A and B are shown apart, each in its own frame.
Chain A
Amino acid sequence: MTAVALPLSVQVAFAGIALLLCIASGISIALQRRRPERDYGELRQRVKTWWLIVAVFAVAVLINRATSVIVLGLISFLAFKEYLSLIPTRRADHRVLFWAYLAIPLQYYWVWAGWYGVFIIFIPVYVFLWLPMRMILTGETQGFLRAIGTLHWGLMICVFSLSHMAFMLVLPAENNPGGGSMGLLIYLVFLTEINDVAQYVWGKSLGKRKIVPKVSPNKTLAGFLGGVFSTAALAVPLAPWLTPLTVYQALGAGFLIGLAGFVGDVTISALKRDLGVKDSGTLLPGHGGILDRLDSLTYTAPLFFHYVYFLHY
């Protein structure tokens, strides 16, 4: 368990993120000072929580493999717990839910061991087959399909998808001379979050035409396109520092992350709308729940992972 020497690009990346957050904090404080009559409490809270998120992310990425896997596994746990707390569950499934939780340490153990073959089929195949069988042992058939469907969808989103973030850290570092073992994940998370922010900012400034009015009435076509192109534009210059991607591959990655991030966002929005809640939880003040923050990553993480894995690993 030795600390890994940090590549220069990773150090610069975190310095850059810290700088961005300082600017965000500065702006939110200045806004409140200049217009004391308006309440910027929500924005301030949001930026403060961003600091916390970046701190946790730094711990997850920078220390060593075991720490990374544990921290990211705990994030999956919180996300899955938030999901199960939101959806209706059957009393009869108490033990089944316990088994579902057990999938989390196992899935992250495969990551830690770098065992790609099991990592990639464990939840989609073995857990998928095991949980309904366990459910049948309790014998409650009323609501069976809904119970097993919602449970497995939650595991796929909160555990399987998100665990791809952790697997990026155990891919061989020598395939990524610029970013080492951490570059890919920093690249993915940074671009996904920037895409969220860019879609919001573009949408606020010139958005008119609604893109998915039934699911997310605040989302506009201009916000979506502005976000995707901003992300793609940023993906290209960052790629040589953090990834093995060529210019055209990086452009593709940028569009992929922009598009997938949007889909992840509205997918969780659809879930919340179905359940009649505004936020998925209260864990992250100013943001809502942990799923409200991870929504885009549930789509970008596996898609970007397999894109890069196919091209370079």
Chain B
Amino acid sequence: MLRGLFYLLLVKPLVLFLIGLNVRGRQYLPSAGPAIVVANHNSHLDTLVLMSLFPQALLADAHPVAAADYFFRNRCLKWFALRIIGIVPIDRRPAAVGGDTLTPLLRALDHGKILLLFPEGSRGAPEQLGKFKSGIAHLLSKRPEVPVIPVFFSGLGKCLPKGEFVLVPFFVDVFIAPALAWNGSRPAFMAELAHAFALLRDEAQPLPFDGA
């Protein structure tokens, strides 16, 4: 309830008017779970923009995957992340990789949820595409029937880069590719995913950022 209102009254108007999206390939977004939406990560806004792409009715089933250590720093933030944003928390400590880390994600997929995942792991330098971590391939090898939809953002790192709290409006490109299916091997799948993002990035042709 509160979460639905938060997205309807705050996030969607903010994203649609203050920022403004140019969306290409909206038809490729999943219309039902289970599904995994994979995006590049430059800004806290990525999560909100990704959520705002879904129709209100589907929001209840869409959950961003986020690092527990970052969002559970204090009780207020924890409440906000879980109840309002609706994250599925994961433990990203190296020791836990392959073990318990994926359990909450598998459970969510089994419940027909749409997971929003940022395989770069953290936000990184603004408007730079970092290297993808292979957690997504581990996840998919256990649920091979789940479709993976790549989404490329360009411009959000300019609106609100890491470490900045003043939002500066820019129009943002959101390019969505057709779903990828599990191809049987982790390295091969990671290569396919990287290729899909390279294609989206070529299509978006982001402007050089940072002078010169």
Contact = CB atoms under 8 A, between A and B. Distances in A.
B161 A91 contact: yes
Interface string A277-313: 0000111000000000000000000000000000000
B2 interface: no
B208 interface: yes
Contact of B166 (A82, A85, A89, A95): A95
B1 interface: no
Contacts of B210: 90-92
Contacts of A78: 20
B207 interface: yes
Contact of A101 (B161, B168, B171): B168
A105 to B, nearest CB: 13
Contacts of A82: 171
A281 B211 contact: no
A89 B22 contact: no
Contacts, number: 51
Task: Name which of B158, B166, B169 has the most chain A CB atoms within 10 A of its CB.
Answer: B169
Nearest to A146: B211
Contacts of B170: 81, 84-85
A147 interface: yes
B212 interface: yes
B168 A85 contact: no
A283 B168 CA distance: 19
A94 interface: yes
A101 B166 CA distance: 12
Main secondary structure of the interface of A (DSSP, over half): helix
Contact of A89 (B20, B158, B164, B171): B158
A88 B209 contact: yes
B64 interface: no
A282 B172 CA distance: 11
B119 interface: no
Interface size class of A (residues with CB under 8 A): 20 to 34
B126 interface: yes
Task: Name which of B155, B170, B171 has the most chain A CB atoms within 10 A of its CB.
Answer: B171
A142 B211 contact: yes
Contacts of A281: 22, 171
Contacts of A98: 166, 168
A87 B206 CA distance: 11
Interface in A94-131: 94-95, 97-98, 101
Interface string B189-211: 00000000000000000011111
Contacts of B164: 94
Interface in B152-174: 155, 158, 161, 164, 166, 168-171
A143 interface: yes
A91 B161 CA distance: 9
A78 B17 CA distance: 9
Given A85-B155, A88-B207, A282-B22, A94 B168 contact: yes
A140 B210 CA distance: 11
Given A95-B166, A281-B22, A147 B211 contact: yes
Interface in A57-98: 77-78, 81-82, 84-92, 94-95, 97-98
A273 B166 CA distance: 32
Interface in B134-180: 155, 158, 161, 164, 166, 168-171
B25 to A, nearest CB: 14
B171 A81 contact: yes
A154 B168 CA distance: 15
Nearest to B24: A282
A84 B212 CA distance: 16
A101 B170 CA distance: 11
Interface string B1-45: 000000000000000000010100000000000000000000000
A89 B210 CA distance: 7
19 contacts: A81-B170, A84-B170, A85-B170, A85-B171, A86-B207, A88-B208, A89-B158, A90-B210, A91-B126, A91-B210, A92-B211, A94-B158, A94-B164, A95-B166, A97-B168, A101-B168, A142-B212, A143-B211, A281-B171
5 nearest A-B pairs in the assembled complex, by CB-CB distance? A85-B171, A143-B211, A90-B211, A91-B210, A85-B170
